[in-house]
């Protein structure tokens, strides 16, 4: 069974930095797009950034220039480096990935979420 396991959340002051990690465990043939979403209290879940297997990235306008998504294909891991954090970045951050099994089946998976709280 494939799982996405996130780590790295916590409490940080405004202007600070945090790095999130998300590793895919289980039997994985390959991983296509990997994504980070976030959901703040009372708001809809939104896409923060995504990255293709070839390293092409895409960012939400609200995080451009402050967040960097990267991945290590050898470790089936995606990262989100968050800098110049603002209180409005406070949310639960979720990892998401399109994973292909050995049988060739593509399935979309979600991580359990990790809380990031930015204090003013």
Q: CA 25 to CA 46: how far, in whole Å?
A: 24
Do 34 and 71 form a contact (C-beta atoms < 8 A)?
yes
What is the structure's pLDDT at 28?
Answer: 86
- φ, ψ of residue 89 in degrees (nearest 5): -85, -5
Length of the chain: 120
Helix, coil or strand: residue 109 = strand
What is the structure's pLDDT at 102?
Answer: 84
The β-bridge partners of 81 are: 19, 68
What is the structure's pLDDT at 113?
Answer: 97
pLDDT in tens, the chain (120 residues): 899 999 999 999 999 999 999 999 998 889 999 999 999 999 999 999 999 999 999 999 999 999 999 999 999 999 999 999 999 999 999 999 999 988 889 999 999 999 999 999
What is the structure's pLDDT at 103?
Answer: 86
What is the structure's pLDDT at 104?
Answer: 87
Give me the residue label for tokens 């070839």: 54
Backbone region of residue 74 per phi and psi (left: phi > 0; alpha: psi in -120 to 50; beta: other values) = alpha
What is the structure's pLDDT at 77?
Answer: 97
């Amino acid at each position: 069974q494939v799982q996405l396991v996130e780590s790295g959340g916590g409490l940080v002051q405004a202007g600070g930095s945090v790095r999130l990690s998300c590793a895919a465990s289980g039997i994985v043939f390959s991983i296509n797009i990997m994504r980070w979403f976030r959901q703040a209290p009372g708001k809809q879940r939104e896409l923060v950034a995504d990255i293709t297997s070839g390293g092409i990235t895409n960012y939400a306008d609200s995080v451009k220039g402050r967040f960097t998504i990267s991945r290590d294909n050898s470790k089936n891991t995606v990262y989100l480096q968050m800098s110049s954090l603002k209180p409005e970045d406070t949310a639960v951050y979720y990892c998401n990935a399109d994973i292909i099994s050995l049988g060739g089946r593509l399935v979309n998976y979600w991580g359990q979420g990790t809380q990031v709280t930015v204090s003013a």
